[in-house]
């Protein structure tokens, strides 16, 4: 098992679209004493392609991989509907587990995953890299400093473009059993940020539909929230924006402050306004926005470093 300040040898289970992000980071040597050690996918070609590209052993069976490789942690990057099954299968090895969002598609599965990791003495992490976007961290700092006073309202907007071709990449995409819709998949990051800032939710009213693609699940949804602290909130999420991604934004309003973070990936500070200004406020507006190359953002490295700190 790895020691403090290192994650050690990390294996990837699932070599699909998001695996590229994890493999490139772990294989880059940018995270101290942490390396990509092996990859696994039930598709032999995918597994071998990743193994060849990143010069690590490849497997089609995760149990065989765990039995033959010295592994300290496993990143589970499989379809969402398989996360629980794979955590329950891997937890007995006692290695730390990192699961891509969403953690699971049902509360029962999520509870079972936590119980399995508790039982076998391993830690379970869910990938929420947008928490480490610099604008988001500055917002969190302002919130913890009490600059908003009483919270009034929080909203998120996810206006992205996912065409039929996206869902055709894999048969599981857009299904209830394996993927979920825009709320579970694309907007899960933003909903997490909203709850992180606003606190626990007391009640929800929502409406959804499938607007522009042929899938089982919703591609468009809106929801009204009441938080336990008395504030209200709204979620607007769609992958039916055309012709391209428009925004992924978060707004927090309080009695003494208002902040909006926009851009297409919660990456641009649009509004930073408080009743009692501080000297650093102008610097926040001018210096802390970022321009990531895609909606995944820059947060994965900071996320892995946080995982290491937590172990």
Q: What is the mean pLDDT of residues 256-269?
A: 94
Which residue is it, tokens 């209200």? 232
- Give pLDDT tens digits for 13-70: 999 989 999 999 999 988 988 999 999 999 999 999 999 999 999 999 999 999 999 9
pLDDT band, very low/low/confident/very high, at 2 (cuts 50, 70, 90):
very low
pLDDT of residue 6: 67
Question: Lowest-pLDDT range, 114-118, 150-154, 279-283?
Answer: 279-283
Check residue 281 and give its pLDDT.
Answer: 95
Q: Residue 5 pLDDT more than 60?
A: no
Cβ atoms 165, 199 nearer than 8 A: no
Which residues touch 179 (CB under 8 Å, ≥6 apart)?
A: 79, 80, 81, 172, 173, 185, 217
- Compute the distance between CA of residue 277 and CA of residue 55 in angstroms, rounded to an integer: 52
Going along the chain from its start, the domains and CATH numbers come out as: 8-122 (3.40.50.720), 130-287 (3.30.360.10)
Q: What is the per-residue DSSP string for 57-70?
A: -EES-HHHHHHHS-
Average pLDDT, the chain: 95
Residue in the block written with tokens 């942490």:
34
The token duo for 19 is 């695996």
State phi, psi for 44 to the nearest 5 degrees: -60, -40
In tens, the pLDDT along 111-146 reads 999 999 999 999 999 999 999 999 999 999 999 999
8 A C-beta contact, residue 271 and residue 260: yes
Task: Tell me the percentage of the chain whose pLDDT exceeds 90.
Answer: 89
Question: Over the range 134-166, which residues count as b (16 or more CB within 10 Å of their CB) and which as e?
Answer: bbbebbeebbeeebbeebbbbbbbbbbbbeeee
Q: How far apart are the first and last CA of the chain?
A: 11
The pLDDT of residue 136:
96
Contacts of 306 (CB under 8 A, 6+ apart): 132
- At residue 3 the predicted structure's pLDDT band, cuts being 50, 70 and 90, is very low
pLDDT at residue 1 is higher than 60: no
Before 243, cis peptide (omega within 30)? yes
pLDDT at 293: 63
Q: What are phi and psi of 165, to 5 degrees?
A: -60, -35
List, for residues 201-251, the tens digit of each pLDDT value: 999 999 999 999 999 999 999 999 999 999 999 999 999 999 999 999 999
Q: What pLDDT score was predicted for residue 299?
A: 84
The per-residue pLDDT for 289 is 84
């Amino acid at each position: 098992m790895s020691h403090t300040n290192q994650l050690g040898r990390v294996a990837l289970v699932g070599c699909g679209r998001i695996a590229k992000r994890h493999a490139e980071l772990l294989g880059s040597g940018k995270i101290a004493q942490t390396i990509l050690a092996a990859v696994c996918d039930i598709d032999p070609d995918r597994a071998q392609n990743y193994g060849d590209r990143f010069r690590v052993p490849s497997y089609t069976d995760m149990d065989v991989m765990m039995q033959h490789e010295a592994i300290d942690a496993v990143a589970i990057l499989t379809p969402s509907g398989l996360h629980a099954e794979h955590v329950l299968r891997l937890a007995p090895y006692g290695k730390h587990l990192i699961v891509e969002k969403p953690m699971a598609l049902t509360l029962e599965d999520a509870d079972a995953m936590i119980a399995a990791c508790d039982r076998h003495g391993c830690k379970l992490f869910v990938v929420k890299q947008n928490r480490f976007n610099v604008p988001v961290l500055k917002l969190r700092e302002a919130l913890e400093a009490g600059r908003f006073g009483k919270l009034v309202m929080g909203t998120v907007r996810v206006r992205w473009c996912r065409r039929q071709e996206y869902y055709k990449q894999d048969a599981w995409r857009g299904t209830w059993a394996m993927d979920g819709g825009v709320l579970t998949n694309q907007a899960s990051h933003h909903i997490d940020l909203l709850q992180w800032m606003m606190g626990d939710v007391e009640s929800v009213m929502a409406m959804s539909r499938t607007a522009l693609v042929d899938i089982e699940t919703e591609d468009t949804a809106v929801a009204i929230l009441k938080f336990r602290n008395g504030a209200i909130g709204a979620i607007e999420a769609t992958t039916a924006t055309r012709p391209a991604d428009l925004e992924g934004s978060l707004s927090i309003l309080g009695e003494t402050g208002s902040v909006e973070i926009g851009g297409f990936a919660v990456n641009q500070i649009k509004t930073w306004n408080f009743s009692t200004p501080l000297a650093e406020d102008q610097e926040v507006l001018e210096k802390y926005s970022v321009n990531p190359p895609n909606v995944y953002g820059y947060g994965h490295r900071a996320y892995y470093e946080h995982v290491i700190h937590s172990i």
